Amino acid sequence: MSIAHKSKDNMAIFHALHQSAIGIDVHSNLIVAVFQKGEFGKDCLEGDTWNGTASKSELIRFAKWCKRKSPEVLIMESTGVYWQSLYEALEDEGFKQTQIIVVNARDVKNRRGSKTDLSDAIHLAEIARQGSYRASFVPAKYVRQLRCLWRSYATLKNTRKRLLNILHKQLCQVGCRASSVFSDIRGKTASKILECLISGQNGKSLRQSIVSIIKSSKGKLRSTPAMIYEALQADMNSLVWYSIRKHLTHIKFIDVQLKEAEENLRSNLTPYQRLLSLLSTIPAIKEITSIGIVCELGDDLSQFTSIRKFAKWIGLAPGNNESAGKRYSGRTTPGNKYLKVLLIEAASGIGLMKSGYLHEVHQKLKERRGTKKANVAIAHKLCRIIFNIITQGTCYIEQDKPILKDHRLAKATNALAGLKEVGLECNDVEVLDSSNGEIKVIHKAKKENKQDSFCSC
């Protein structure tokens, strides 16, 4: 703690957590930095500035300049990807991870009307000395590189989905209704049949190709060869076929790229094999999902002081929006969109399962709030499970609680209680638990005594 006073007025002129700090304003090809240092008993600040380009050699010079100043903390905004090369240069110079602070730009916004690069750097240095910042999560260098590889892989997958949608629309445009006979037009059997059509096969040759492909395929199609042939009848003279062939070639190329990118990720994740196996014990978390989680987080979550802050960083914690004593929408906050998408997809998969504790919780929430809110709530629960697995190094153990059974029994009890309010009487209702043969009796509606509304016999 550092406090400086004016001797005449006997009042503090600054009250800082750190005596010295460097505020850095980062751009694509410009770095502006301000060094500030205040000592106890002095009523002025010691300062210095740096203004230079963002080239590799200049970054090394700037890191050495920072080392000579020996600041307690260095702070910068997470501006796109421009901060990353500077962060690595400071790491290479010997600064610890706790000294280099990366903050979200919206949290340290400067006041309007006085915004310049120099004033932004001064503002950041003041915030750093006061300690009034919220540091972003920055994993180790190797994990940051894995994160870049994973996000490139995820972008390729999204590009493939987009091209597949375009291909489907263009096939419909020429009169081909492939989606009516194939559940997935890029499945193995569907792909082979569509390639025959796109390559120009028609009439008898196309019919024979369809029959031979279906016979040689391992899976079974619901549609017969005659139904598939009828659905694939299209205008073969349309000019759109040129675009269809180009899109199919592009999708094939992306398939190869995806396969190579996935193999590269697996080879680079050798040090995290144990963590991958632990994450795979969670229901609906497949191997590729666990790879994405490890690439985004690594195996060190010590920067998060609680599960709540971890969930908030991902963007799966309920937000607070209260004014004048009234609570408004508590929608989730912005966060790591890559992890958020992964966990919500996994939560959606849990909803499609047939049994399990998480499935029962999802079904209970779905009946109360709807599918989308249930998916977000289960994704939040998965987020908490992942935090415990990474920090404690233990696998997930499925609980055995009759969540859904108790919920539906309570719903039946409340439904019977509601009959009396509209002038209807209902005698005791017996229900049989098929799992253990236990008979439960739901008594007449008495809202004032909910605990005794049903009993076991």
356 CB burial (10 A radius; 0-12, 13-18, 19+): middle
Along the 457 residues of the chain, how does pLDDT read in single tens digits?
444 444 455 444 445 688 899 999 999 899 999 999 987 666 677 889 999 999 999 999 999 999 999 999 999 999 888 999 999 999 999 999 999 999 998 888 877 777 888 999 999 999 999 888 889 999 999 999 999 999 999 999 999 999 999 998 998 898 888 888 888 887 888 888 888 888 888 788 888 888 888 888 877 777 888 888 888 888 888 899 999 999 999 999 999 999 999 999 999 999 999 999 999 999 989 999 999 999 999 999 999 989 999 999 999 988 888 888 888 877 888 889 999 999 999 999 999 998 889 999 999 999 888 999 999 999 999 999 999 999 999 999 988 887 887 787 787 777 777 777 777 777 777 777 777 777 777 765 444 444 445 455 4
Q: Are 85 and 100 in contact (CB under 8 A)?
A: no
Strands, DSSP E only, in 141-214? none
Print burial letters for 28-46: b (CB count within 10 Å at least 16), e (below 16).
eeebbbbbbbbeeeeeebe
101 bridge partner residues: 75
SS3 443: coil
Print burial letters for 265-294: b (CB count within 10 Å at least 16), e (below 16).
beeebeebeebbebbeebbbbeeebbbbbb
Q: Report the number of secondary-structure helices (H) and strands (E) in the chain.
A: 15, 12
Other beta carbons within 10 Å of 87: 22
Could you give the CA distance from residue 313 to residue 383 in angstroms, rounded to a whole number?
A: 11
101 CB burial (10 A radius; 0-12, 13-18, 19+): buried
Q: Residue 45 is encoded by which pair of tokens?
A: 């600040």
CA atoms within 13 A of residue 367's CA, in its CB half-sphere: 12
Could you give the CA distance from residue 166 to residue 159 in angstroms, rounded to a whole number?
A: 11
Q: Residue 28 is encoded by which pair of tokens?
A: 């694509």
What tens digit of pLDDT does each residue of 307-325 get? 999 999 999 988 888 888 8
The pTM of this model reads 0.83
Q: Are 221 and 228 in contact (CB under 8 A)?
A: yes
